[in-house]
Amino acid sequence: MSLTVVGSIAFDAVRTPSGSRERMLGGAATHFALAASFFDEVRVVGPVGDDFGEDDMAVLATRGTVTDDVERIAGGRTFFWSGEYAQNLNARETLVTELNVFEHFQPKLSAASRDCDVLFLANIQPELQLRVREQCAGARFVAMDSMDLWINIAHDALMATIRTVDCLILNDEELEMLTGAATTPSAAQQILGWGLKAVVAKQGKYGATLFTPDDAFALPAYPLEHVVDPTGAGDSFAGGFVGYVAAAGDGEISREVLARAMAYGIAISSYNVEEFGTERVARLTADEVAARVDDLHRMTAFTPAPVALRG
């Protein structure tokens, strides 16, 4: 199996109630790759600038991620994002976004990246996502993320791109914004009507819900007493989720596979927010991932034993 991700590789500056970082490795493709690399060989497609160091590239290559298609733009600077989180960590304000090398990025995929079985289009301009999606015509499972910005300023391109993928992974409020629906389940049903196989609503500190044409599956987030930095949580979730699907083989993507994929996504994203940026997931072990999935199972499992209900 092989898994390709296209998206931002970035430097982030963040301020949270726990502290701050002036420049840390980040970006959607980075967080996705670090999580997905537990399951499959990941190929990352995206541009970086002259300022992207060998040590940054080494983190990106954790657990064998292939960086052949990370394009270094001579004279360019790496994408930069800066943000500040509110006290309760569920709201954040973007302070600075410098597209830099992303401004004129034209994704060029090697044959190996194009031949992927599974493709993830991380949050970038929907036109770029569509161009990559078209190059990976043989992928058996294609998932994508997006954000409120594109819903507002590139609605038609986003709609066209969504209709070419199998699975949309989006924040619950963005699903409602995209469709105008009053509830997330109603938004998801509308999107499934466009021909998608699955829609995943990311619910921040509350967990995530998966909608398929016939059913739903939901898990709460792993309860953490201390959250240091939520940056990249959604992309770590997507990495665990899509990575598990990629590793589950080339058979039918069953409900059981998708449910387990949800658990791996939630487990890895819960580690992501325990420290700044990629710090925690870069040194995460397979045993720790498995232990948290087991915890999550114990914390959600119940048996609906018969009780004599009064009529």
Question: Quick check: 85 binds a second copy (CB under 8 A)?
Answer: no
Q: How far is CA 215 from the centre of its chain?
A: 22
The full length of the chain comes to: 311
Please identify, among the stretches 47-55, 114-122, 203-211, 229-237, the one whose residues bind a second copy according to the rule CB under 8 A: 203-211
What one-character-per-residue DSSP string does 235-246 give? HHHHHHHHHHHH
- Cα-based angle 65, 59, 171 (whole degrees, multiple of 5): 80
Query: Of 203, 239, 195, 197, nearest to 215 (Cα)?
Result: 197
Count the alpha carbons within 13 Å of 18 in the hemisphere toward its beta carbon.
Answer: 15
Indicate which single residue of 127, 183, 193, 213 sits in contact with a second copy (rule: CB under 8 A): 183
| Count of residues near a second copy by CB under 8 A | 66
At closest approach, how far in Å is the CB of 66 from a second copy?
Answer: 13
Query: Of 261, 277, 34, nearest to 143 (Cα)?
Result: 261
At closest approach, how far in Å is the CB of 281 from a second copy?
Answer: 13
The nearer residue to a second copy, 79 or 244, going by C-beta atoms, is: 244
Please say whether the dihedral angle defined by the alpha carbons of residues 68, 70, 76 and 80, taken in this order, is positive or negative.
Answer: negative
Question: Quick check: 148 binds a second copy (CB under 8 A)?
Answer: no
Indicate which single residue of 61, 97, 220, 275 sits in contact with a second copy (rule: CB under 8 A): 220
Question: Quick check: 214 binds a second copy (CB under 8 A)?
Answer: no
Contacts (CB under 8 A) with a second copy, residues 272-301: 285-286, 289-290, 293-294, 296-301
Question: Quick check: 20 binds a second copy (CB under 8 A)?
Answer: no
Question: Quick check: 98 binds a second copy (CB under 8 A)?
Answer: no
Give the number of other CB atoms < 10 A from CB of residue 155.
12
SS3 letters across 118-178: EEEECCCCHHHHHHHHHHCCCCCEEEECCCHHHHHHCHHHHHHHHCCCCEEEEEHHHHHHH
Query: Of 132, 213, 134, nearest to 167 (Cα)?
Result: 213
Question: Quick check: 310 binds a second copy (CB under 8 A)?
Answer: yes
Question: Quick check: 251 binds a second copy (CB under 8 A)?
Answer: no
Contacts (CB under 8 A) with a second copy, residues 23-42: 37-40
Contacts (CB under 8 A) with a second copy, residues 151-180: 176
Asked if 47 contacts 105 with a C-beta cutoff of 8 angstroms, the reply is yes
Question: Rounded CA gap, 117 and 10, in Å?
Answer: 26
Indicate which single residue of 84, 131, 186, 279 sits in contact with a second copy (rule: CB under 8 A): 186
Q: Which two tokens stand for residue 193?
A: 């009507």
Question: Quick check: 141 binds a second copy (CB under 8 A)?
Answer: no
Question: Quick check: 1 binds a second copy (CB under 8 A)?
Answer: no
Indicate which single residue of 13, 17, 131, 157 sits in contact with a second copy (rule: CB under 8 A): 17
Indicate which single residue of 3, 142, 219, 281 sits in contact with a second copy (rule: CB under 8 A): 219
Indicate which single residue of 50, 103, 250, 256 sits in contact with a second copy (rule: CB under 8 A): 256
Question: Quick check: 189 binds a second copy (CB under 8 A)?
Answer: yes
The nearer residue to a second copy, 64 or 251, going by C-beta atoms, is: 64
Question: Rounded CA gap, 46 and 5, in Å?
Answer: 9
Question: Rounded CA gap, 19 and 255, in Å?
Answer: 40
Instruction: List contacts with a second copy (CB under 8 A).
Output: 17, 37-40, 63-64, 87-89, 176, 182-186, 189, 203, 205-207, 209, 211, 215-221, 223-227, 244, 247-248, 256, 259-260, 262-264, 285-286, 289-290, 293-294, 296-311
